Amino acid sequence: MESELINPPLLPYLEKDLLRRAHTPNMTFRAFISVDVEVQSKLEEFWEKLKGSNAPMKLVELENIHMTLKFLGDTDEKLIDDIAGVMALSVESTEPFTVELKGTGAFPNLNYMKVIWVGLENAEGLVDIAKTLNRELEKLGFQKEKKGFRPHVTLARVKGARNKNRVQEILREYEKETFSSQRVECIRLKKSVLSGKGPTYTTVKEVKFPGT
């Protein structure tokens, strides 16, 4: 006597599940790799003066100020572990080091300001890390930066020329200022969520330097 089938065959259900997964869009997020900045009083003072200039600019919120090492843009969540692996590779022979936040300026120049920045000194370690990230992340499909990495901290993006002279005065006032020193011991993969109130940054992965 043939055995009786109690449950229906599973194959059609498996096929439907595979089909559903195949058509499920990949989840992406806006991402970058950076070092968070510990904002101290002198940097906050400079930030407040820029804000008080009433020039058309978008200031980076104090809690969001960071040193960008690599901008990734829209990133597939499935790549998070691979990106973390590249981050670990980029710091595998790096000891913790201290950078100085010193000096101010604007890209491309003071007469035509698009980005206002604070400079970074003793930042050779950041340059080396950024080079490795740029080279190795291209293998994961991320666009390779053609311009050389210039260590800096972005404070604001300028939207127009109103009160340009006042902004230039502020930049010249702080052009040789030492704002703070900061020990660098890790790098972070950050997620940026945009809203009407501005971006919110959260840490997705943190990679510490060896020995920390």
152 belongs to the catalytic site: yes
Taking residue 58's Cβ as centre, other Cβ atoms within 10 Å add up to 10
Omega prior to 108 cis, within 30 of 0: yes
Catalytic residue among 66, 70, 188, 191: 66
23 belongs to the catalytic site: no
Token digits of residue 66: 């960071």
Q: Strand pairing partners for 41?
A: none
Give helix 124-137 / helix 80-90 axis angle, nearest 10°: 140
CB 153 within 8 A of CB 17: no
Catalytic residue among 70, 102, 152, 188: 152
The set of residues, in sequence order, having a beta carbon less than 8 Å from that of 1 and lying 6+ positions away, is: none
Counted residue by residue, the chain has a size of 212
- C-alpha distances in Å from residue 135, one per residue of 18, 42, 129, 142, 144: 35, 35, 10, 9, 7
Question: Which residues are annotated as catalytic?
Answer: 66, 152
